[in-house]
Amino acid sequence: MGRHPARRSGRSARSVCVRRKPGLLRCAGAASLHIGDRIYALEDFTPAAHLPDSWADAWIDALIAAGIRRVTTIENEFPFLSYVEEAGGPLGLASRGEVAVYTGGFPTPRLTSSLAALAARSGARFQHWGDADVGGLRIWWFLRSRLARPLRLVRTTAAWLASESSSGGRPLTSVERQALVRTRGELARVAGADIEDALALLDALLDCGVKVEQERYRWHDCQRGAMKRTSTRDRGRRKQAARHRLSPRRLETLIQEALVDAYGEPEQAGAFHAMLEQELGLPFETTVLGVAVTVKRVDVTAGNGVVAMCYRGRARQAIAILDLPLPDPPPAGWAWIEAYRRWARGR
């Protein structure tokens, strides 16, 4: 097999949508926007609205007029869409006086100023759902600082992380640990219930030693009767795993084959990427957070991680191969995914 060099084009993780900044205000809820001599119903945009930045002031006025009581900011796209779906769409959010806002990682300056203006002019409560990692906490702290009011952490909590970490996660690097310690020092100087929750999550990250993305949150597990469904689902997953399990010897053989003449982590990640492109049966369909998506291709991030590019309509999201749920039956060439996972987790 010829060596496939890792891509060194300088592209960041953002460029493959691991963190995509929205060019528009993306939100879901119900309100009447007055634009010129026309009125637009926010709830008519489904599953979510994509509003031009120039509409930001009208958006703020509309939410205040609608008597918005809760604003939920969400870091990543698929969790944002699943949150809206869980609530019953824009009208479901409106029934509880809520608007959901997609930040796309760190929010744009326009979105930040719009949220700050909404916080200053309304009595709405703000909450945030993001990744359980350094970046997720920094985004939360950035938003809280700009809003100048409490910003409650939801779903990604210390208890959730402790539960999820038992199923694995990405190990924290020494740099990330240092960043968490510095952040802890900053938070310790501020009082508030949301600060205490953030400190608890931060301490859980340091104790568990792993980081977990918010995509791991299974919102349907929180619905009524979820315990029974989860038990049935887990049994199904165990049966699927038993049917499609590879021996350690077979996995090591695949790893050795993929890494022939590949030296160093960038080259080895590139070699696995080449093997997956060659052997994996693309496209294939799978389910992420209860949403059906199509995996059309694989890519490599600047951090030498292989990601699957998932599509649903016009929406696109990169999901780490390490976290990608496989369908049953799995696609052709699925063994190379398992080989990559074994290699990546052992790095």
Same domain, 90 and 201: yes
Same domain, 185 and 121: yes
Same domain, 76 and 180: yes
**Structure tokens of 171?**
């190990």
The three-state DSSP-derived secondary structure of 153-212 is: ECCCCHHHHHHHHCCCCEECCHHHHHHHHHHHHHHCCCCCHHHHHHHHHHHHHHHHCEEE
d(CA 41, CA 65) in angstroms, rounded, equals: 13
Whether omega for the bond prior to residue 327 falls within 30 degrees of 0, making it cis, is no
Same domain, 206 and 256: no
The predicted structure's pLDDT at residue 122: 95
The predicted structure's pLDDT at residue 23: 52
The predicted structure's pLDDT at residue 264: 85
- If one counts the domains in the chain, the total is 2
**Residue 275 belongs to domain spanning:** 247-345
Query: Rg (Cα) of the chain, in Å, rounded?
Result: 21
Say how many C-beta atoms besides its own lie within 10 A of residue 177's C-beta: 14
Evaluate whether residue 224 is within a structural domain.
no
User: Quick check: 121 and 154 in contact, CB under 8 A?
Assistant: no
For CA atoms 163, 169, 170, 174, the dihedral sign is positive
Please tell me whether the overall predicted TM-score, pTM, comes out greater than 0.85 for this model. Answer: no
Evaluate whether residue 167 is within a structural domain.
yes
CATH number of the domain where residue 152 is located: 3.40.1360.10
The predicted structure's pLDDT at residue 1: 41
Same domain, 180 and 255: no
Evaluate whether residue 237 is within a structural domain.
no
The predicted structure's pLDDT at residue 95: 92
Mean pLDDT in each 10-residue stretch from start to end of the chain (347 residues)?
39 37 77 94 90 94 96 94 91 94 91 96 96 93 94 94 84 91 91 95 94 76 40 47 71 88 84 88 88 91 85 85 91 93 84
